[in-house]
């Protein structure tokens, strides 16, 4: 794995918009996030097409990819932060310059729809990428938990996933080691097969889902798609994050309904990642360990920034 350089005060952070367009209230939110990050002592650089809305529902795949490629090639930029979520960041996958990204490794962070980009960059280049709060969310969250988690991981290089107050529930006991892969369930579902697919062999898979947009039956659809494509035959462990649906049906219930006790890997659950205020930063490609006998059920066991 390629370990990126950590972020230092005074460094420049590049912001890209690979998903839905930055329009309406998003513009003010993005500028507020910029002020907050600059107040911390960083510089912020918006990509050329940050406000583009060429299609009327997003910028073009080429515009998005051009911005990401340019940020990787820009020697001034030390970190790339995805501005917000959406639905179609996967459109850029064929336009990313993976060779140039590999030659210019640096931190790239985002979550939700950005899971397709950060996952595929890791898959194609072996660069450790980061599933964590989006840039705009810094300004819209009610607490600073997620921002602090980003600074803890990306600046300090801290290996603690979440805080000591975060609780972990054991769904199925066991022990596992493997490199981390995953993110938003609906997005990961889209990259388990086809031209752009992830390698799940011997990995610890982490999954979360947005309950406001995904019903339990749809989450079941996604999980059965993973099962039907043999993903659960390949992984070493499963870590579930937040899923809050009005039905009160939990993600762990849907997972257990899907798995039908056919697999032996450990399963844990926590509420410190996903579409929730408490978003820790999960390094994709870093080795982790699940041990349900320990008070901290999962831990990183190698560095993710240097």
Residues 133 and 187 in one domain: no
Q: Structurally, how many domains does the chain consist of?
A: 2
Which residue from 92, 128, 94, 132 is spatially nearest to 112, judged by alpha carbons? 132
**Dihedral class, residue 47 (left if φ above 0, else alpha if ψ from -120 to 50, else beta):** beta
Give the pairing of strands 175-184 and 237-240: unpaired
Residues 134 and 30 in one domain: yes
What CATH code is carried by the domain that includes residue 44? 3.40.50.10740
User: Global pTM?
Assistant: 0.97
What are 93-133's pLDDT values in tens digits?
999 999 999 999 999 999 999 999 999 999 999 999 999 99
**Dihedral class, residue 146 (left if φ above 0, else alpha if ψ from -120 to 50, else beta):** alpha
Give the pairing of strands 282-284 and 203-208: unpaired
In this prediction, residue 136 carries a pLDDT of: 96
Residue 251 lies in a domain: yes
In this prediction, residue 138 carries a pLDDT of: 94
Residues 262 and 173 in one domain: yes
Distance CA 63, CA 52 (A): 8
Which residues are within 8 A (CB) of 228 and not within 5 positions of it... i.e. 6 or more apart? none
Residue 276 lies in a domain: yes
Domain interval for residue 89: 12-154
Residue 69 lies in a domain: yes
Residues 148 and 175 in one domain: no
H/E stretch holding 256: helix 251-259
Residue 306 lies in a domain: no
Distance CA 287, CA 179 (A): 4
- DSSP one-letter string for 99-134: HHHHHS--EEEE-GGGHHHHHHHHHHH-B-EEE---
What CATH code is carried by the domain that includes residue 296? 3.50.30.60
**Mean pLDDT, 10 residues at a time, the chain of 306 residues:** 98 97 96 97 98 97 98 98 96 98 98 97 98 96 95 97 93 98 98 96 98 97 98 98 97 97 97 96 98 96 97
Last residue of a domain, one of 128, 154, 180: 154
Residue 285 lies in a domain: yes
Evaluate whether 267 touches 255 at the Cβ level (below 8 Å). yes
H/E stretch holding 168: strand 168-172
What are 181-227's pLDDT values in tens digits?
999 999 999 999 999 999 999 999 999 999 999 999 999 999 999 99
Last residue of a domain, one of 106, 123, 154: 154
Last residue of a domain, one of 102, 125, 154: 154
Residues 69 and 120 in one domain: yes
| Residue written as token pair 């839905």 | 20
Residues 21 and 126 in one domain: yes
Evaluate whether 89 touches 114 at the Cβ level (below 8 Å). yes
Is residue 92 classed exposed, middle or buried when 0-12, 13-18 and 19+ CB atoms within 10 A define those classes?
Answer: buried
Residues 123 and 220 in one domain: no
Residue 184 lies in a domain: yes
Residues 121 and 239 in one domain: no
In this prediction, residue 83 carries a pLDDT of: 98
Residue 305 lies in a domain: no
């Amino acid at each position: 794995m390629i370990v990126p350089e950590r972020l230092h005060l005074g460094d420049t952070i590049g912001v890209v918009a690979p998903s839905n367009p930055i329009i309406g209230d998003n513009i003010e939110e993005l500028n507020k996030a910029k002020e907050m990050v600059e107040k911390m002592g960083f510089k912020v650089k918006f990509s050329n097409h940050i406000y583009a809305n060429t299609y009327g529902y997003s910028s073009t795949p080429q515009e998005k990819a051009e911005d990401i490629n340019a940020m990787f090639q820009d020697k001034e930029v030390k970190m790339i932060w995805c501005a917000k979520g959406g639905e179609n960041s996967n459109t850029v996958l064929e336009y990313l310059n993976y060779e140039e990204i590999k030659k210019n490794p640096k931190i790239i962070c985002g979550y939700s729809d950005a899971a397709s980009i950060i996952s595929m960059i890791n898959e194609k280049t072996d660069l450790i990428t980061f599933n964590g709060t989006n840039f705009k969310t810094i300004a819209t969250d009610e607490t600073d938990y997620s921002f602090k988690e980003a600074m803890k991981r990306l600046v300090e290089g801290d290996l603690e996933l979440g805080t000591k107050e975060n609780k972990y529930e054991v769904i199925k006991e066991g022990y596992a080691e493997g490199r981390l892969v995953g993110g938003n369930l609906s997005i990961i579902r889209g990259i388990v097969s086809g031209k752009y697919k992830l390698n799940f062999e011997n990995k610890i898979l982490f999954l979360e889902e947005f309950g406001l947009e995904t019903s339990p039956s749809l989450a079941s659809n996604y999980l059965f798609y993973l099962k039907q494509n043999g993903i659960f035959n390949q992984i070493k462990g499963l870590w579930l994050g937040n899923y809050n649906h009005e039905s009160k049906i939990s993600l762990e219930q849907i997972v257990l309904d899907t798995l039908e006790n056919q697999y032996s890997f450990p399963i844990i659950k926590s509420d410190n990642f996903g579409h929730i205020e408490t978003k820790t930063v999960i390094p994709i490609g870093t080795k982790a360990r699940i041990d349900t006998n320990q008070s901290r059920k999962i831990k990183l066991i190698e560095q993710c920034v240097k």
